[in-house]
Structure 1
Amino acid sequence: MATIAPAAATSNDRFFMRMAIIIAFTIISGFVLHFAMGRSSLGARPLVHVHGLVFMGWVVLFLIQVRLATGGSLALHRRLGWIAAGWACLLVVMGLAITIDVAMRGGTPFFFLPQYFLIANPMTMLCFVALTTAAIRLRRSTDWHKRLHLCATVSIIGPGLGRLLPLPLMGPYSFDIVIFVSLLFPAAGMIHDWRQSGRVHRAWAWGALAIFLIVPTSQIIARSPVGDMIYAAVTQGHPGEKVPGLEFPPSPLTE
């Protein structure tokens, strides 16, 4: 997502394009796998479908923008960038909407604490917003811009990556494990930088730190009185009100 690019694709361009493809493949594969296994269906409520379309729309925009920045039209990249910025806002709104809807319905997956799920997802969205905003503000510093944008999309890779991992077997740390596995992407960027120039760009460190902090920040808030109040306010008057926020829902594997 750089604003300046050389006439011919460099090894650095190819690296970012490959990374974008791998990220997109990871997200799409997770959803396709669950659909193929019958864990997802077209019979889901409309909100789920709208959220899925918005999420996949971001993945497509992300791929297009990386392609344009690494060997396409920079003028189109800039124009499409503002559309992507608006789409990012829509993505955040839908992410929050589906999280609140799941909590109200009492439908949190059995391997997540309902209260932690309700807090951690918005924290993920906050991380995405922070990294995306920083990338936009630093759009003239192409080295920062493209790395921060990649980290921003990595921060929301969880829905796809989590569907590829055996989360039901990972116990109470399922969400945390997904976050830590996603850090392999900025780690790959660090390794690439080191091999290319003998140093690691600071954008990777900031991006990785922002993603990492999702876990401790979410844990602290979810297990605090603030987390209790948020969970109670969201679930009040809904089926989720009867679901203990800090207890794991019954596992269908043991029923």
Structure 2
Amino acid sequence: MTILIEDRRVRASASPARYFYFHMATACAAVAFLGFAPTYFLPLAAGKFSAPPSVHVHGIVFFAWSLYFVFQAWLAASGQIGRHRSVGLIGVSLATAMTIFGFLTGVTMMKRSAEVGQADGGIAFSIVPWSGILFFAVVFAIGVAMVRRPEVHKRLMLLAGISILDAAVARWFLTFLAPPGPPGPPPVAVTIPPALVAYLLLVVAIVHDWRTRGRPHAVYVVGGIVLVAVKLLNLPISATHAWHAFAGGILAMAQ
């Protein structure tokens, strides 16, 4: 009964601005689907894509989370807060699976790079998926902890959703802008421009805050700075002996 009363109150106070996060979640899902369409979804539908099972599970879990994110944002926007919270454990399960398979996919990429004689390149590049999934996992976990503070919670979830879109945008860069070259991982440096393009969605969220509350929320300011810093630091860290020893050790155990 309490949940029903709460839901009715939220519906009564709903405004068009409340649907902003639903629209942003939809935009994130669209970027994810369109980004991977030329290199995964379309080749898979045509029977021309071959990869280890972990890669397929990784793709399914990540896209499932994108759809779940849209659904949860819609529930919150339409005032169904009780239902939004009741299905929250699904998001926790998906995020956990994303973290596990995000790590495993990084290992798979290193192994495939080693098979074509580019082990060092694969080890260097592994920092890209691993740092990305670590950022997502940490922000998501904090967002779950802040579920009783909706203004913080919804911004953390949006930040987490935006943080994993760099790979989708990068597929378009690699498909249409990258020159032909030998098989193997791309240089870490080429992952930075696509990430900055994906992070433009965060700029949209900041502008929305400015228009609706007069200033950007601290989640976007602090989280955005950390997100960009992590991406930029990928390049120098990936070239260090410490990273090659760490990632190389994991590769050695996986072979």
Under TM normalisation by the shorter chain, which class is it? Answer: 0.7 to 0.9
How far 1:161 sits from its partner (Å)? 1.6
Task: Indicate conservation of the 8 Å contact 1:157/1:182, yes or no.
Answer: yes
Find the counterpart in structure 1 of residue 77 from structure 2: 70
Aligned residues: 236
- 1:33 aligned residue (28, 35, 38): 38
| Secondary structure class of the residue paired with 1:66 | helix
Q: Provide the rounded CA distance (Å) in 1 between the counterparts of 2:114 and 2:241.
A: 22
Deviations 1:2-41 (A, max 9, x none): x994435323222111111111001001122334764984
How far 1:205 sits from its partner (Å)? 0.9
Q: Does 1:53 align with 2:60?
A: yes
How far 1:113 sits from its partner (Å)? 4.2
Find the counterpart in structure 1 of residue 183 from structure 2: none
Task: Indicate conservation of the 8 Å contact 1:120/1:214, yes or no.
Answer: no
Q: Does 1:154 align with 2:162?
A: yes
Find the counterpart in structure 1 of residue 3 from structure 2: none
- 2:178 aligned residue (162, 168, 184): 168
| Secondary structure class of the residue paired with 1:106 | helix
Q: 1:198 to 1:126 in 2, by over 3 A?
A: same
Find the counterpart in structure 2 of residue 221 from structure 1: 237
Q: Does 1:136 align with 2:141?
A: no
**What is the identity, as a one-letter code, of the residue corresponding to 2:153?**
H
| TM-score for the superposition, normalised by structure 1 | 0.82
**What is the identity, as a one-letter code, of the residue corresponding to 1:160?**
A
Q: Does 1:185 align with 2:185?
A: no
Higher relative contact order, structure no. (Cα contacts within 8 Å, ≥ 6 residues apart): 1
| TM-score for the superposition, normalised by structure 2 | 0.82
Mapping of residues 63-102 of structure 1, within 5 Å: 63-102=70-109
Deviations 1:178-225 (A, max 9, x none): 221122111111111111232111111122122112223323331222
How far 1:148 sits from its partner (Å)? 0.8
| Secondary structure class of the residue paired with 1:220 | helix
Deviations 1:135-189 (A, max 9, x none): 1111111111101100101111122221223452597632111221122111111
Q: 1:216 to 1:163 in 2, by over 3 A?
A: closer
Deviations 1:32-81 (A, max 9, x none): 23347649845333222111111111111111111111105211110111
| Secondary structure class of the residue paired with 2:12 | coil
**What is the identity, as a one-letter code, of the residue corresponding to 2:38?**
L
Q: Provide the rounded CA distance (Å) in 2 between the counterparts of 1:126 and 1:167.
A: 28
| Secondary structure class of the residue paired with 2:216 | coil
Find the counterpart in structure 2 of residue 248 from structure 1: none
Task: Indicate conservation of the 8 Å contact 2:192/2:232, yes or no.
Answer: no
Q: Provide the rounded CA distance (Å) in 2 between the counterparts of 1:33 and 1:72.
A: 36
Q: 1:211 to 1:108 in 2, by over 3 A?
A: farther
Q: Provide the rounded CA distance (Å) in 1 between the counterparts of 2:50 and 2:238.
A: 32
Q: Provide the rounded CA distance (Å) in 1 between the counterparts of 2:144 and 2:41.
A: 37
Q: Provide the rounded CA distance (Å) in 1 between the counterparts of 2:215 and 2:13.
A: 24
Mapping of residues 98-137 of structure 1, within 5 Å: 98-106=105-113, 113-137=121-145
Q: Provide the rounded CA distance (Å) in 1 between the counterparts of 2:82 and 2:23.
A: 22
How far 1:105 sits from its partner (Å)? 1.9
Q: 1:117 to 1:108 in 2, by over 3 A?
A: farther
**What is the identity, as a one-letter code, of the residue corresponding to 1:44?**
A
Q: 1:41 to 1:107 in 2, by over 3 A?
A: farther
More helix per residue: 2
Find the counterpart in structure 2 of residue 245 from structure 1: none
Q: Provide the rounded CA distance (Å) in 2 between the counterparts of 1:231 and 1:64.
A: 36
Q: 1:43 to 1:141 in 2, by over 3 A?
A: same
